[in-house]
Structure formats: C-alpha cells, structure tokens
Amino acid sequence: MASTFSTPASTALFRRLTWEGTVPLEIRVDPNQLPANSDRGLECYYVQAPRVSYLPLLVPEIKRFLLDVVFDVAAAKTIKEEEWWFETDDQVLMKWHWSIGLLYDYHTVTTSMKSAKRPEGQQFPLRLILHLAAPPTDKLLIAPSIEACKQAFMGQLKEADFLRWGNTKRMTGLRGAEQDGIWEGIKDHNFEEYWKIASKITPTTTPARPNSPPPASVSMHSRPSSTDQSGAPDKDGAYNVRSVPIRIYLPNGPVLQDLAPPSLESGTLNTLGKFLSTLLPLLFPANQRALACPLIQGVVCPLDAEIAWLGACMAGADGWVNVMIGIL
Amino acid sequence: MALSPPTLPDAHRSASPGLALGDGKPQINPEAAAALESYNTRDTVKIIVRFKAVGNAPIMRQNFYKITASNRFQTVIHFLRKELGWKAGEPLFTYINLAFSPAPDDTVSNLFKSFQTDGHLIVNYSTTAAWG
C-alpha cells in the first residue's frame, strides 16, 4: 500500500469496501429443539450478513422467518429469543460481542487447519446451529440482548480510542445522541450514518505523506492543501497515534494484542510484516520467507502494508484491525 | 539441522493461503505447527493487578493481586466479586485506567501490554456505571 493510496478518496474507498463486505451464513434450527408441528425441511435460514454487524442484530429477522415459515401458532407463543444461542457444526460457540466478519474469518482460519479440500476463491457459508434453549451463559460472556451488544461495541470503541491517544476525549466528547448514532448506523447498516459520527473519532490519512522522519516533525506547509484548510500538522492523523488498535488471531489459539506504534524508533513506518516479526518471530522470521500469512477482512494483506494505514482504512466498525493468521 | 524451504505456493494457490494444500490430507508445515504450539502455551506469568475503588465502592484491605496473564478479564471480575463478597446480582462495574470497560474475553496479558502503568494494570471498580 504505497503512499499513492493515502488520499482521502482512497481512504473512503477502502472504508466503503470494508463496510460493504458480507459473508454467507446458513442458520439451521437444532432439529431436537424444533417445536412440534414445525415445518421441517424449511428450518434453515440463509443470509448474506454484513461483516460489521452482530448476531444479536440478526435475531429479529431470523425470528420473523421462523414465525412466518416454520413454527405454527402454538409454537410461536413459546419463542423466547433471550434463550437463543448459536454454535458451529463443530461446537464452537458464537460470541455475541464478536462481529459477524470476525466470527466468519476466525472460523475460516481455524477450519483450514483441519481440512485441505477447498476450491479457490469460493466463499463457503458459515454453518450455524441455532439452539432455542439452555444457553451456556458463562461462556457467552454477555447477555444476548441488542443493548448488551451495543455496550460491548461502545466499550471496544473506547478501548481503541484510549489505545490511540492515551485518553478517551474523542469518545466522551461525543454527545449522547451521537454515540447512539454510531450504533444506529450499524443497526441500519448505513455507511453515511455510521461515518458521519465515526469520522470524528477515527483518525484518517493525510493527502500527502512524508516518508521520514516521523510525520509529526515534518512541516506540513509544503503539502498541497486539499481538505485540510488549517495547514496545521495533522496531529490527529493516523500516523500520529500512540498505538494502532490491532489484534492478532491465531488458529485455535490465543488472541494477541500489544502496542503497535505507527512508526518505529528508526523513523521508518511500521508495517504489518515488521509488527508480526516482533510479535510472532517463529512464523514471521525477519528477512526470511514467512510460514504464515495475514488476512484482514477476509483477504490476504501484503506484509508491507503500513499499520497506520490499516488502522485508518481496514478496521472493523468497532475501530479494531483484526488480523487472522493463516498457515501456509 | 538443515531445514527444507517451505513449498512455494503456485500462482493459483496463492489466492487462498492459510489453507493447507495437497491431496485431501492436512499438510501443515511442521515448523509452523511447532510455532503455533509454542504460541498456544498458556502464559503463566503473573501480572500485578491494582484494584482501585471509585465513588462509594468499598475499599479492600488488600489492593494488589498477582493474576496469571492468560486469564480473561471475566475471571478478574469474578475474583473481585469474591474478594468483595458480592453476589452475582449486585451491580459491579469495572474499568481500566478510568477509561473503558474491557470485553470479558480480553486477556490480562493483552490489557497489561497495552495499558499498564508503573508495571501494573489498574482496574477501577464501582457500584454505578461511570465511564460505561
């Protein structure tokens, strides 16, 4: 991702691409829990779900489907969606506070370790079993409600804000209605609605970017000004954060999080490759061929991608860049 | 010991790396498998967690605890409840550095690496939602 990509237009493009990303889900009701007189054979719901959405937000439409197509009137009265929960075919529990894209990608890298037969370029549905009762509340960690999911989402935004700047002024500076507005953008899956407010808290890239020394010390007056009228250094920019909010997911393994500064002490920009070499040297040995590759939003990410750019353009809606590690 | 170079993915296959290539059998590079194994080992390092009461929350006699790094924050919350002698229904809100409430599956290790101050992780607790 060279500096030619760090324009406002390309930033907006990648943010739009990330936002519009969807993954296929196949949701099948646990056959042992289907109420009597259900229309068996139809109890499967297919949806191309937004990556930035969450399972609790899908529950209402799944419920409508089941009421319309599968359950009879008597069964409809017994529905308690607060007892619903999802797991994959191989008993992996789907957490309410992980975005759908994250659940899908984690499943992809984890299962690719087990089987080898996968045609190129096809996206297979994530097959989920919907249980209607007896949720393992301890493992689900948060309540199944949309409100609890919203709180978890806002918490992630705040954690990202704090990681970037050492304070949460940008988040707490939003009015209550604005904070609600970000979540409404997710619920409505509306790009403009979400970014109208998210742009106030998400650092962006600048039109022209210096290579070295670190951006903060370079005079910005020589840049052609386009959107930045003030001419002041872009102290709120993606390359000036303390740390990029980024998490690394190992297949069947831990989630790793560590400080990820946009620039290194030498003054060069920190790249995904350099960051992974520091964090996972056995898989990404410096100056040698990597044994694994990083996937972000379901696509392979070049190791020379600047992590500051990733933070500005390829993060999830909760502010975090989620990197899956696939073994080559 | 000489290591044979990893198999170069050919042009078609490079479109979907992360997927073990081959004739229907999982073929994970043994070096990579060993690396994953080492990264999967539970981190037994103890992190110093400092609990700080906020508002009307009771102050504990002991505020510093050593908690295993691999523990999730959920475990820290349970531990705090136990130390305070509070039951599950009673409201307890927890924050890092008075700033945000972590996801219950954020690990102590990750939170420490990102947010530690003076060698410990500050966990604020209160009976009411403050920085929610």
Q: B25 at the A interface (CB within 8 A)?
A: yes
Measured between beta carbons, which residues in chain A are less than 8 angstroms from residue B36? Answer: 250-253, 283, 327
Tell me, what's the ipTM? 0.85
| Domain shared by B71 and B113, yes or no | yes
| Domain shared by B60 and B38, yes or no | no
Residue B132 covered by a domain: no
| Domain shared by B37 and B50, yes or no | no
Number of domains present in the structure of chain B? 2
Measured between beta carbons, which residues in chain B are less than 8 angstroms from residue A121? Answer: 15-16
| Domain shared by B83 and B34, yes or no | no
What confidence score (pLDDT) does residue A33 get? 87
| Domain shared by B77 and B92, yes or no | yes
| Domain shared by B55 and B105, yes or no | yes
What residues does each domain of chain A span?
19-142
Instruction: Please report the residues numbered 43 through 62 in chain B whose beta carbons come closer than 8 angstroms to any beta carbon of chain A.
Output: 43
SS (H, E, C) chain A: CCHHHCCHHHHHHHHHHHHHCEEEEEEEECHHHCCCCCCCCCCEEEEEEECCCCHHHHHHHHHHHHHHHHCCHHHHHHCCHHHCEEEECCCCECCCCCCHHHHHHHHHHHHHCCCCCCCCCCCCCEEEEEECCCCCHHHHCCCCCHHHHHHHHHHHHHHHHHHHHCCCHHHHCCCHHHHHHHHHHHHCCCHHHHHHHHCCCCCCCCCCCCCCCCHHHCCCCCCCCCCCCCCCCCCCCHHHCCCCCEEEECCCCCEEECCCCCECCCCCECEHHHHHHHHCCCCCCCCCCCCEEEEECCEECCCCCEHHHHHHHCCCCCCCEEEEEEEC
Residue B1 covered by a domain: no
pLDDT tens across the length of chain A (328 residues): 444 445 688 899 999 999 999 999 999 999 888 888 787 778 789 999 999 999 999 999 999 999 988 888 888 888 899 999 999 998 999 999 999 999 999 999 888 877 644 434 567 899 999 999 999 988 999 999 999 999 999 999 999 999 999 999 999 999 999 999 999 999 999 999 999 999 999 998 865 444 433 334 333 344 343 444 444 456 778 889 999 999 999 998 889 999 999 999 999 999 999 999 999 999 999 889 999 999 999 999 999 999 999 999 999 999 999 999 998 8
| Domain shared by B36 and B53, yes or no | no
| Domain shared by B96 and B54, yes or no | yes
Measured between beta carbons, which residues in chain B are less than 8 angstroms from residue A113? Answer: 20, 26, 28
B3: pLDDT confidence band, cut at 50, 70 and 90?
A: very low
CATH number of the domain that residue B81 is part of: 3.10.20.90
More confident residue, A68 or B5: A68
Q: Give me the architecture of the A19-142 domain, per CATH.
A: Roll (3.10)
| Domain shared by B66 and B120, yes or no | yes
| Domain shared by B32 and B63, yes or no | no
Note the pTM of the prediction, 2 decimals. Answer: 0.86
Residue B88 covered by a domain: yes
Measured between beta carbons, which residues in chain A are less than 8 angstroms from residue B29? Answer: 291, 327-328
Instruction: Please report the residues numbered 226 through 265 in chain A whose beta carbons come closer than 8 angstroms to any beta carbon of chain B.
Output: 243, 247, 250-259
Work out the average pLDDT over B75-89: 91
Q: What is the β-pairing status of strands A292-296 and A255-257? A: unpaired
Q: A23 at the B interface (CB within 8 A)?
A: no
Domain boundaries, position B34: 14-42
